[in-house]
């Protein structure tokens, strides 16, 4: 832990998550003297409480589900299958701990100074005067909740830098009438480390986080109810994909309450009571409200930028809708998808990247933004990121992955099927590798632009969807056409052949369907 004062750096990065540590490493590679200030664990929420450990849990769940439901068909016999819940949870924590130590090694390798503590920016760059950052001792709970950190009243040290990058990430939202208590009203962090498996769980919000935990607990036998205000689960995905996943989960017995909003949450001695009502025409129909009961309720309704205690309002850093404002704005249909961005804030010398500046709240976007920001600070001219070519992945089973536009978004832009685009779909139930591996739930859907055949959007539900999307992401990034996908030989037998078949289908040339 650094204890020196009045130390100057070329760059101070605040936050050690996917944006922060990646940006710090790239800056060091470019010859900068770098410090990274992190008040909790290196790796941020993604590595410690999100992306990585949750995938360890989901891997366990998938194996358990397959054995319990498909053993006979696979020719497997056993006396009794049990679950050691503590080991399920501890394996996930072990994965996070291993990778956390890996980042510390990378910092040492690249001569990056890791400063433990809470950072507070007290001034931006003014003429010859550098940015100034105070470091405070802090006690932080590793949690998604909005509980503020315990921060010392006086700074431990003061450091300066020519430039500062804010990469402090995001924090989960709760509801005005349902505040996190870490026990019965929980967030993703608590859901990842529950000491005992609940017999029943209500998940509010059917986005990626909500559906991943819904799948995880349902696989182990927890009675799961999902409440979603919009008409379908995974509402940002293509409607055909959402409907297909709903069909799978309803068949498995999961209770999906779409087009319903939550109006009240009460804790009881034994759990929670959640009142929900149909959501129609922009409002709740209270006359048809009903009360659900469960041991716990998981809130998965979205996130906001995390910058508590990072700066005083007098500093002049502008925020908008609970995020720090930069020269980045979410791409609008019909606009230049790849503008030249610096990620500057409203204060000279201070930049911000990742979840703290707004959607899409994805680790891979945060890392790329950090690299672009650092390279521009260094005077380079990197290729801008095209925000319409960002893969989105949900790791429930079956997996869901997509890139580009949904058919719904194209229709909202005024584009019409048969006139402006065509669709090619291919179901896994007809696919050789899927049948052989007993993964026949799902499909690949490709939206082909007319008349050139460019890939406007690609959507996959099924086994390995989060891996299969890479080919289509690259194809869209390079402005490849379905004709070029069609003449690309795909190895047999693979799941990748399903991408080939969907591409053929978009031109009316489907072979195996």
Q: What is residue 50's DSSP assignment?
A: S
- At residue 311, the 3 state secondary structure works out as strand
Query: Closest Cα to residue 164, out of 321, 347, 319?
Result: 347
Neighbours of 71 (CB within 10 A): 13
Q: DSSP assignment, residue 463?
A: T
| Continuous H helices in 268-323 | none
Q: Which helix (H) or strand (E) holds 349?
A: none
The answer to whether the peptide bond before residue 360 is cis (omega within 30 degrees of 0) is yes
- Report whether 24 contacts 34 (CB < 8 A): yes
CB 440 within 8 Å of CB 422: no
CA distance 222 to 206: 17
And the tokens for 184? 């019965």
492 is catalytic: yes
At 506, phi and psi to the nearest 5? -65, -15
Catalytic residue among 232, 492, 496, 500: 492
C-alpha angle with apex 9: 119 to 31, nearest 5 degrees? 130
**SS3 label, residue 136:** strand
- Residue in 201, 255, 205, 202 with CA at minimum distance from that of residue 230: 205
110 φ, ψ (degrees, to nearest 5) = -95, 10
Q: Which residues are catalytic?
A: 492
């Amino acid at each position: 832990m650094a204890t020196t004062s009045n130390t100057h750096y070329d760059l101070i990065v605040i936050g050690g998550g996917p944006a922060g540590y990646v940006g710090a490493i790239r800056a060091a590679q470019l010859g900068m003297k770098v410090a990274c200030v992190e008040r909790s664990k290196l790796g941020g929420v993604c590595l410690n409480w999100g992306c990585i450990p949750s995938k360890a849990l989901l891997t366990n769940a998938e194996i358990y589900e397959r054995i319990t439901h498909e053993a006979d068909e696979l020719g497997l016999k056993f006396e009794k299958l049990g679950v050691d819940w503590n080991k399920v949870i501890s394996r996930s924590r072990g994965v996070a701990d291993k990778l956390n130590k890996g980042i510390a090694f990378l910092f040492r390798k690249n001569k990056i100074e890791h400063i433990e503590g809470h950072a507070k920016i007290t001034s931006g760059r003014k003429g010859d005067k550098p940015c100034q950052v105070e470091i405070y001792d802090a006690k932080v709970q590793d949690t998604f909740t909005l509980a503020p950190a315990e921060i010392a009243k006086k700074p431990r040290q003061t450091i300066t830098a020519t430039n500062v990058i804010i990469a402090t990430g995001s924090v989960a939202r709760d509801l005005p009438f349902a505040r996190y208590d870490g026990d019965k009203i929980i967030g993703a962090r608590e859901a990842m480390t529950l000491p005992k498996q609940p017999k029943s769980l209500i998940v509010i919000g059917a986005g990626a986080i909500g559906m991943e935990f819904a799948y995880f607990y349902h696989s182990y036998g927890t009675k799961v109810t999902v409440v979603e205000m919009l008409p379908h689960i995974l509402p940002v995905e293509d409607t055909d994909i959402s409907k297909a996943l709903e069909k799978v989960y309803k068949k498995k017995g999961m209770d999906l309450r779409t087009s319903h909003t939550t109006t009240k949450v009460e804790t009881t001695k034994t759990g929670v009571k959640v009142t929900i009502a149909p959501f129609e025409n922009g409002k709740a129909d209270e006359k048809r409200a009903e009360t659900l009961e469960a041991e716990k309720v998981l809130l998965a309704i979205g996130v906001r930028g995390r910058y508590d205690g990072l700066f005083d309002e007098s500093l002049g850093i502008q925020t908008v809708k609970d995020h720090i404002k930069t020269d980045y704005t979410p791409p609008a249909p019909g606009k230049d998808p790849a503008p030249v961005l610096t990620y500057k804030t409203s204060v000279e010398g201070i930049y911000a990247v990742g979840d703290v500046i707004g959607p899409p709240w994805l680790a891979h976007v945060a890392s790329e933004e950090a690299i672009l920001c650092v390279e521009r600070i260094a005077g380079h001219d990197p290729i801008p990121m095209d925000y319409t070519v960002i893969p989105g992945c949900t790791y429930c089973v079956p997996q869901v992955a997509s890139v580009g536009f949904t058919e719904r978004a194209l229709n909202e832009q005024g584009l019409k099927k048969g006139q402006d685009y065509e669709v090619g779909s291919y179901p896994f139930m007809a696919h050789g590798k899927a049948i052989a591996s007993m993964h026949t739930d799902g499909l690949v859907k490709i939206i082909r632009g007319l008349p050139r055949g460019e890939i406007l959007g690609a959507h996959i539900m099924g086994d390995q969807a989060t891996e299969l999307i890479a080919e289509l992401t690259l194809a869209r990034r390079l402005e490849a056409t379905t004709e070029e996908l069609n003449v690309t030989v795909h190895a047999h037998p693979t799941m990748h052949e399903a991408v080939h078949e969907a591409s053929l289908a978009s031109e009316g040339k489907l072979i195996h369907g």
